[in-house]
């Protein structure tokens, strides 16, 4: 313990107008945090101020990050400000490293008041890259809209912040560090912990590690290839998959976390994990996976590079959910997907008579259902899958879920997927992103589309492309009413639903200084067993043609559309 009490200062500051947190927190370029005076301090103070002082005093908070550039600098500031704002203990992953799922897990395990996660997820890192700050509440999940709105309102009027500028933490040494502060009766404590161990303990209670060890290192073991993409997940893969479950050390690649992710884009999809895809095409490996910067997203591959869409991945896990011991004990309360995600999960829910929830986009909506005991498994088209043991999506959990299914069924990834399609039908799926679109043009196009689909005459309309006919069964501007608290989230995207289960969705997903982003989702359902193995581009072409005709999106946005990360399959 330090000899003399550390000074607690209250310093003046000025507000910024652009600190509105999104569903994944506040993301900006690194240089914004570095060059704008008190930009970091302001936002952190507003997080602390959003928590009632009585709850904050003497409380415990968890802090971790994906290891990107500026991570350690920000953690020192957060600790200094936590001490000055009455927090009693801060628990931090060694070297500031802790995956987003592990932070959620630890918040719940030690009953912390919340946690601060330093990540910009799958966005690039480094001095010219992105940096992000996300606040998770006591349930371990992303702060709900009421909290993020409060933080934003405070950020617009903030006049001062509290800090202990002389407090310095050794992030590299596991153990407790105590600090005496001026006018504080109890010392402030920082605890540096192994970022993997608590999380790994939870996974041991969910999966049968003996069965998985036999799969990965027994007499008839499979060969796997896991790409950490130089994000936070590397130490978790090495410790759990290699050291504990026996997969060879060389099955884990790019597993050293780097501040700039090795100059790569830590986004687990066919574009940015192309090296893994090429390696898998060789046929040397039976199973492959990639993870994003903070470890909450995943991509699943089979032998010869067979790609499993995120929408299909959660559906397969649902159909084989009792291959996972956790669900044998807890039962299954419900399934959920975000609205733009393909309806593959719906088919499993219907067949198993398990409740399905179609939510607005954002993991916090799943968390609300989980807290109410209504949801066990969920997923989204942007490579997120998770369960109710934490309140975040979890890339490594999804990989262990798939390996559990492989261990029980003793089939290849491709055979499991094709059996699934034969049983439930196939949802051919793709997404197109129209980025940096003029905001006025994007809004006008969406308004015109809404007028079209809300016209009663639109229902029943038949669109003919080639020999195929599509009849509109329903259309709306999707709004989600939370069955737990009744909160309504409006304007979540325009849906056109056709008889037979196919869908077209248009969504204005966000705006920034470069313009707006419009996303077009195509979800084509096919149950004819003779059409389950078409070229996906052929299967989707008709609906794509209808979507382009209805929206005139190329002409109105002056963009051709970039195929999104979930790609055609």
Structure tokens that stand for 198 in this block: 């608590």
Q: Is 221 exposed, middle or buried (0-12, 13-18, 19+ CB in 10 A)?
A: middle
Please calculate the CA angle 250-255-259 and round it to the nearest 5 degrees.
155
Distance CA 441, CA 159 (A): 38
Give the residue carrying structure tokens 């490579």: 383
Distance CA 143, CA 159 (A): 23
C-beta of residue 532 within 8 angstroms of C-beta of residue 421: yes
The β-bridge partners of 122 are none
Q: Which residues contact 296 (CB under 8 A, 6 or more apart)?
A: 99, 100, 101, 121, 384, 386, 392, 393, 394, 395
The β-bridge partners of 517 are 510
Give the residue carrying structure tokens 């896991």: 226
Active-site residue, selected from the candidate residues 50, 121, 247, 313: 121
The CB-side HSE value for 340 (13 A sphere, CA atoms) comes to 28
From 395, 495, 381, select the one nearest 121 (Cα to Cα).
395
C-beta of residue 41 within 8 angstroms of C-beta of residue 140: no
Is 217 labeled as catalytic in the residue annotation? Answer: no
Structure tokens that stand for 238 in this block: 């090495």
Range list of H helices, 5-160: 30-35, 39-49, 53-56, 71-84, 100-109, 145-155
Beta strand residue intervals within 30-171, DSSP E: 60-65, 89-97, 114-118, 130-137, 160-163
Number of residues in the chain: 569
Tell me the pairing of strands 252-253 and 224-227. Answer: parallel
Distance CA 99, CA 298 (A): 13
Residue 441: count other Cβ atoms within 10 Å of its Cβ.
Answer: 16
Distance CA 78, CA 90 (A): 10
Task: Show which residues are catalytic.
Answer: 121
């Amino acid at each position: 313990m330090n000899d003399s009490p550390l000074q607690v200062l209250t310093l003046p500051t000025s507000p910024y107008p652009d600190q509105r947190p999104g569903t994944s927190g506040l993301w900006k370029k690194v240089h914004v945090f570095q060059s704008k005076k008190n930009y970091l301090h302001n936002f952190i103070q507003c997080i602390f101020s959003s928590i009632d002082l009585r709850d904050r005093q003497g409380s415990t908070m968890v802090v971790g990050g994906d290891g990107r550039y500026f991570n350690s600098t920000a953690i020192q500031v957060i600790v200094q400000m936590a001490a000055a704002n009455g927090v009693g203990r801060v628990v931090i992953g060694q070297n500031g490293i802790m995956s987003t799922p592990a932070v959620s897990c630890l918040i719940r395990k030690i009953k912390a008041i919340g946690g601060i996660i330093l990540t910009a997820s799958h966005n690039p890192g480094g001095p010219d890259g992105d940096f992000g700050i996300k606040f998770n509440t006591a349930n371990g999940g992303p702060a709900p809209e009421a909290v993020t709105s409060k933080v934003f309102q405070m950020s617009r009027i903030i006049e001062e912040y509290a800090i202990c500028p002389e407090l310095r933490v050794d992030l590299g040494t596991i153990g407790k560090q105590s600090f005496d502060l001026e006018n504080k009766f109890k010392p402030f404590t920082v605890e540096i912990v192994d970022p993997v161990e608590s999380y790994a303990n939870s996974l041991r209670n969910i999966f049968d590690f003996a069965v998985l060890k036999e799969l990965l290192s027994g007499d008839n073991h499979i060969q796997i290839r896991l790409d950490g993409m130089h994000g936070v997940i590397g130490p978790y893969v090495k410790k759990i998959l290699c050291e504990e479950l026996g997969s060879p050390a060389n099955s884990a690649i790019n597993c050293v976390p780097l501040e700039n992710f090795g100059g790569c884009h830590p986004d687990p999809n066919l574009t940015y994990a192309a090296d893994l895809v090429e390696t898998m095409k060789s046929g040397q490996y039976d199973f492959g996976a990639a993870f994003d910067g903070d470890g909450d997203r995943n991509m699943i591959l089979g032998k010869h590079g067979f790609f499993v869409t995120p929408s299909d991945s959660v559906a397969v896990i649902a159909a084989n959910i009792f291959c996972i011991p956790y669900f044998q004990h807890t039962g299954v309360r419900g399934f959920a997907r975000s609205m733009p995600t393909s309806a593959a999960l719906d088919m499993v829910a219907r067949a198993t008579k398990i409740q399905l929830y179609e939510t607005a986009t954002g993991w916090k909506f799943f968390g609300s259902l989980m807290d109410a005991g209504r949801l066990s498994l969920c997923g989204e088209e942007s490579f997120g899958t998770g369960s109710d043991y934490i309140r975040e999506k979890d890339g490594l959990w999804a990989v262990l879920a798939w390996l559990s299914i492989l261990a029980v069924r003793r089939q290849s990834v491709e055979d499991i997927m094709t059996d699934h399609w034969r049983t439930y039908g196939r949802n051919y799926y793709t997404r197109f992103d129209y980025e940096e679109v003029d905001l006025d043009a994007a809004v006008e196009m969406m308004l015109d589309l809404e007028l079209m689909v809300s016209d009663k005459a639109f229902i029943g309309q038949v669109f003919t492309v080639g020999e195929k006919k599509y009849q509109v069964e329903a259309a709306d501007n999707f709004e989600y009413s939370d069955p737990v608290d009744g909160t309504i989230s409006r304007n979540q995207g325009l849906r056109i639903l056709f008889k037979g289960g196919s869908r077209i969705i248009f969504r204005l997903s966000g705006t920034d200084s470069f313009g707006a982003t419009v996303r077009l989702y195509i979800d084509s359902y096919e149950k004819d067993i003779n059409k389950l193995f078409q070229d996906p581009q052929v299967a989707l072409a008709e609906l794509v043609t209808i979507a382009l005709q209805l929206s005139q999106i190329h002409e109105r946005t002056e963009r051709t559309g970039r195929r999104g990360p979930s790609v055609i399959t």
